[in-house]
Amino acid sequence: MKLSTVQTIKQRIDDAKASYKASDNISEFISPGEIADLIDEVEAAFDHVLDTLIIDTENDNNSRDTARRLAKMYVYELMEGRYQPRPKVTAFPNTGHDRFEGMLTVKAEITSMCSHHHQPVRGVAIIGLIPTGEVIGLSKYVRIAQWCARRGQLQEELCNQIAKEIMTSTDTENVGVYIEATHGCMEHRGVMAHSSLTQTTVVHGLFHNDAVKSEFFNNVKNQMRHC
């Protein structure tokens, strides 16, 4: 019997002994052209969910194409960072007498979703970096942060993941990441909090140093003033 696209992709992941958590990127296991088939299969599954919720997708005009809209939204938007490969990043050498020896602080607006309830998580990630041998274009910090965010995540996990990816791209350990975000999960359900502002921070390398840490948090404060 022919395997479905979902089964084929899962088979490849299992063969590679890799994981496919909501926060994992699985793009290397998907061949070009399979995304369209994947969306068809996700659509059929959402169609079943809507039917099980006893929603009349045939006669309710507003719900008629909802299964397809949901499938495309998950694959192309909400969880894009799972299915699309890492953004292309060119590293530039930071060497010689005019190399930059200071701290770089970049703000990235992020939209994510909690992996528990698939509710929106919205906020900013502020990335601090003291480069060693390499730097990357400013927009690349933002693209990497968004690529990590567009998955099912917990904020703690996202903070770690952005730090790790920035360390890989810039080949330095000297990275700090601060995230401030609101959580639909707390505002629309459960405790129904009117504000769910949550802050997470991770620091690596030189950012463990007190003076560096306080310069970073001072920059974070200045960045947040412009939010």
Residues found near Zn ion in the complex (CB under 5 A): 114, 116-117, 185
* CB of 118 vs Zn ion, minimal distance in Å: 8
Structure tokens at 164: 């790790």
Q: Which is nearer to Zn ion, 116 or 208 (CB)?
A: 116
Q: Which is nearer to Zn ion, 184 or 205 (CB)?
A: 184
Q: Which is nearer to Zn ion, 155 or 174 (CB)?
A: 155
d(CA 51, CA 227): 42
Q: Which is nearer to Zn ion, 126 or 185 (CB)?
A: 185
- Residue number of the CB closest to Zn ion reads 185
Q: Which is nearer to Zn ion, 21 or 116 (CB)?
A: 116
Distance of CA 182 to the CA centre of its chain: 15
